[in-house]
């Protein structure tokens, strides 16, 4: 049983079907997004320090949790030009 394409329209139809079939596979990321705090060299160093502290039996504190900063009073904003 031979499947041969006889016209250019059949080629385009076959190509279109293949594109529709394979394009969802190659597009997008699989899984939930990764927060930027968990990416990079700083995150690896922080994780190694936490692992080392756990091995030594020291309490582990989250370094990403920063204390609340006091509200800073900003100066009044004036318009640059009036019309």
If DSSP states are collapsed to H, E and C, what string results for 40-68? CHHHHHHHHHHHHHHHHCCCCCCCCCCCC
State both tokens at 25: 């596979």
Q: Is the pLDDT of residue 77 over 70?
A: yes
Q: What spatial distance separates the first Cα and last Cα of the chain, rounded to whole Å? A: 81
Q: Lowest-confidence range among 1-10, 18-27, 40-49, 63-72? A: 63-72
pLDDT at 15: 86
Q: Is residue 8 very low, low, confident or very high in pLDDT (cuts 50, 70, 90)?
A: confident
Q: pLDDT digit string (tens) for 29-40?
A: 667 878 888 888
> Do the Cβ atoms of 63 and 48 come closer than 8 Å?
no
Task: Write down the pLDDT at residue 4.
Answer: 66
**CA distance linking residue 21 with residue 13, whole number of Å:** 12
Residue 10, pLDDT > 80, answer: yes
Which secondary structure element, helix H or strand E, spans residue 36, and what is its range?
none
Alpha-carbon Rg of the chain, whole angstroms? 29
């Amino acid at each position: 049983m031979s499947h041969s394409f006889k016209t250019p329209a059949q080629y385009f139809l076959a190509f279109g079907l293949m594109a529709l079939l394979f394009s969802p596979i190659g597009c997008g990321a699989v899984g939930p997004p990764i927060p930027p705090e968990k990416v990079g060299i700083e995150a690896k160093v922080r994780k190694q320090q936490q692992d080392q502290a756990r091995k030594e039996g020291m309490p582990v504190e989250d370094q990403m949790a920063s204390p609340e900063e006091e509200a800073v009073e900003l100066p009044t904003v004036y318009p640059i030009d009036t019309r």
